[in-house]
């Protein structure tokens, strides 16, 4: 297996991008990544596109060919593949791109993620998001992603004494970080009171505990480390990439307060990288719902099970805390265009390890981690990055 580096990154603003189509935002992110990598488009050997629901959202499937066509790469007849793993589609696309380069199958590949969610009515979105769960046992009963995560939150509160304020503190932190990110959907800090008093969605989660409906795209250029420095003086190595799965239905799990896919993917990733959780300086962690961040920082090994809430309230996950979590603003403030999320997480980590994160920069960051989760944890993808 060859060492793999990120040599180029690109992204769009996240938000309600009414004036742009999926093609527009995908091309914008891709062209930015190509320019950042100092390569020509003809040097790209394969495309991996993370997308969850373009068929439902914009009536467009066959995204691999579409992206190759509109990026001017169709005459090269290169392989272009859409990767779908629900909300973890972007992370899984990066996993597949990593394997392609590490194995020697390709030298230079583009990994992109894109989603256009605002082209359907807001009330259609929960049903589309719920396709990431088990339709036969959960969806048909009227469950939504919010209600399933609410069950997880209630059980976590029961088992560990986690408080409403502790869960809300993750939201407050992420909006603070989002206020420092020029491409975030929400660039305004909020108060604890705002989160707790927001309209109820699924008890105990309110409106501000849930990631917004978002449009956006992000892209990466990967190359073997042996040639990476021909293109950039700041390559960032992907030292490990692992994906894991769990039962699709929440009620089949051994525990409602632990995401076993996250546990297994992260433990394998740490072992491959030769590091421990305490070595991670900055992490982009899936927080489509606020309780998700609390549970994930525990399952990633940053804090003991049940201690994620107190750690967050005490500021241990703020920028330059014990571990800097969601410096981009996370899904909650940066935005969550489902298929783009996992790639956008990686873009943020690369910026951090390059020292290019401006006002949200983590001091002397050496190792970064991304966690992209599909559904309620049916899929989890973990990547660990290292500053070269």
Report which secondary-structure segment, H or E, holds 22.
Answer: helix 22-37
Specify the pTM.
Answer: 0.98
CB 235, CB 385: distance < 8 Å: no
3-class secondary structure, 226? helix
CB 289, CB 297: distance < 8 Å: no
What are the tens digits of pLDDT across the range 211-229? 999 999 999 999 999 999 9
CB 348, CB 180: distance < 8 Å: no
Tokens of 14: 């996240």
3-class secondary structure, 150? helix
Contacting residues for 135 by C-beta, under 8 A, at least 6 apart: none
What is the pLDDT at residue 37? Answer: 97
Query: Do the strands 205-206 and 200-202 form a parallel or antiparallel pair, or are they unpaired?
Result: antiparallel
Domains, the chain, in order of start with CATH, read 4-122+214-228 (3.40.47.10), 131-212+238-387 (3.40.47.10)
What are the tens digits of pLDDT across the range 162-209? 999 999 999 999 999 999 999 999 999 999 999 999 999 999 999 999
Query: What residues form DSSP beta bridges with 289?
Result: 210
Tokens of 306: 């049940």
In Å, what is the CA distance from 288 to each residue of 29, 115, 331, 361? 22, 15, 6, 23
What is the pLDDT at residue 71? Answer: 86
CB 95, CB 380: distance < 8 Å: no
What is the pLDDT at residue 133? Answer: 96
In terms of phi and psi (left: phi > 0; alpha: psi -120 to 50; beta: otherwise), the region of 296 is alpha
Q: Which of 270, 224, 254, 276 is nearest to 382 (CA)?
A: 270
pLDDT beneath 70, residues of the chain: none
What is the pLDDT at residue 72? Answer: 87
Four-point Cα dihedral 329, 333, 334, 337, nearest 10: 140
Instruction: Read off the DSSP letter of residue 197.
Output: T
């Amino acid at each position: 297996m060859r060492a793999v580096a990120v040599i180029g990154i690109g992204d769009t603003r996240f938000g309600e991008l009414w004036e742009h189509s999926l093609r527009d935002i995908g091309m914008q992110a891709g062209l930015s990544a190509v320019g950042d990598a100092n390569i020509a488009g003809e040097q790209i050997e394969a495309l991996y596109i993370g997308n969850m629901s373009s068929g439902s959202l914009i009536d467009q499937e066959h995204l691999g060919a579409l992206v190759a066509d509109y990026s001017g790469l169709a005459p090269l007849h290169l392989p272009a593949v859409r990767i779908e793993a629900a909300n973890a589609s972007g992370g899984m696309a990066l996993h597949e791109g990593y394997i392609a380069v590490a194995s020697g199958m390709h030298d230079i590949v583009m990994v992109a993620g894109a989603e256009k969610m605002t082209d359907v009515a807001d009330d259609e979105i929960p049903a589309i998001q719920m396709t990431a769960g088990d339709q036969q046992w959960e969806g048909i009963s009227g469950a939504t992603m919010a209600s399933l995560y609410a069950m997880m939150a209630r059980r976590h509160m029961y088992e560990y004494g986690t408080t409403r304020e502790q869960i809300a503190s993750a939201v407050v932190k992420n909006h603070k970080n989002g206020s420092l990110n020029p491409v975030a959907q929400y660039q305004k800090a909020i108060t604890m009171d705002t989160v707790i008093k927001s309209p109820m969605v699924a008890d105990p989660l309110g409106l501000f505990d849930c990631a917004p409906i978002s449009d956006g795209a992000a892209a990466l250029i990967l190359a073997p480390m042996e040639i990476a420095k021909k293109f950039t003086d700041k390559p960032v190595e992907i030292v490990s990439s692992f994906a894991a799965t769990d039962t699709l239905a929440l009620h089949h799990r051994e525990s409602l307060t632990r995401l076993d896919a996250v546990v297994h993917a992260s433990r394998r990733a740490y072992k491959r990288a030769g590091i421990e959780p305490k070595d991670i300086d900055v992490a982009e962690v899936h927080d489509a719902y606020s309780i998700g961040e609390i549970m994930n920082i525990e399952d990633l090994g940053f804090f003991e099970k049940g201690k994620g809430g107190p750690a967050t309230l005490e500021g241990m996950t703020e920028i330059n805390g014990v571990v800097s979590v969601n410096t981009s603003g996370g899904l909650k403030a940066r935005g969550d265009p489902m298929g783009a999320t996992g790639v956008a997480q990686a873009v943020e980590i690369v910026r951090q390890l390059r020292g290019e994160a401006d006002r949200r920069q983590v001091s002397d960051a050496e190792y970064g981690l991304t966690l992209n989760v599909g559904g309620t944890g049916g899929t989890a993808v973990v990547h660990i990055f290292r500053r070269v």
